A and B are shown apart, each in its own frame.
Chain A
Amino acid sequence: MTVPWPSRPAQVPVLALGDVLLVTLQGELLDTAAEQLQQDIAQRVARSGATGVVIDISGVDIVDSFLGRVLAEIAANARLMAARTVLAGMRPAVAMTLVELGLTLPGLATALDVERALELLSGHPLAAVPSDPGKEDT
């Protein structure tokens, strides 16, 4: 499965789990690979009619503003095609760095791991919407 480098940067596989697309990011991700992933996910959502996308970043040791923007855009694209995106497994050091960087990804739903992300998407669909006004118990 090795692709000659650098003619083609490592591609990120997108797996289908029922109605959910699961993407696992690992280690170093080149900018071009991240942009390719953004296109791949949009096409897969459109083709498969997936209702959810889980991006597992537990294996990612840094998220800079470029990758952060790509993740936010993946979620925005998916939302326009009726799929909800959950970012799973962000490392504590990455979270602290993103806050200091000023990138808090307010539109993106998060979960501590993939299992919880899938639960969020299946069990409590509304819970995954980051801001849902007018839904309070009175």
Chain B
Amino acid sequence: MEAVSRPVTAELPIGSDADLSRVRQRVRQAATDLGFGLAQQTKVVTAASELARNTLVHGGGGLMEMTSLDDGHRRGLRLSFVDHGPGIRDVELALTDGYTSGGGLGLGLGGARRLMQHFTIDTTPGQGTTVTVEAWEQGVPTARRGTP
């Protein structure tokens, strides 16, 4: 099912730890506005914090694009983290828990992938990395109608 995306609702610079804080606040606000529950808000904001820090630390800074989604049944949030840094040479390795090149715990990418429902990396060595994640509203499953 193809998600209908509205225009980018926000674009935030990522160049300092104060920007990381702004990213967390804006993502929290967006997740609240979309009606995400507290647990999911916390997961989305945490994943955004991990990915924004990667953009800052490994990508040398960049930006986050935030788009709200609606597939006709549920609402969602897409976040893209874009940098023009060195890129990731071995994506599988970078996704491995505990692997780090930045002095952190090595949980950022893999952890963000677990916290979100959709995760893609587009990276070219020497040109940069874009990580895109999506979270969708997780309501109580609706009862199926019309089934005999």
Contacts and interface: CB of A to CB of B under 8 A. Distances in A.
Contacts of B97: 102
B17 A100 contact: no
Interface string A86-122: 0000011110110011110000000000000000000
Contact of A64 (B38, B50, B114): B50
Q: Which of B45, B107, B108, B110 has the most CB of A within 10 A?
A: B107
B42 interface: yes
B111 interface: yes
B20 A93 contact: no
Contact of B114 (A6, A28, A94, A102): A102
Contacts of A65: 50, 104-105, 107-108, 111
A62 interface: yes
Nearest to B110: A102
Contact of A93 (B21, B41, B49, B105): B41
B78 interface: no
A101 B115 contact: yes
8 nearest A-B pairs in the assembled complex, by CB-CB distance: A93-B42, A101-B111, A31-B17, A64-B49, A65-B107, A93-B39, A65-B105, A97-B46
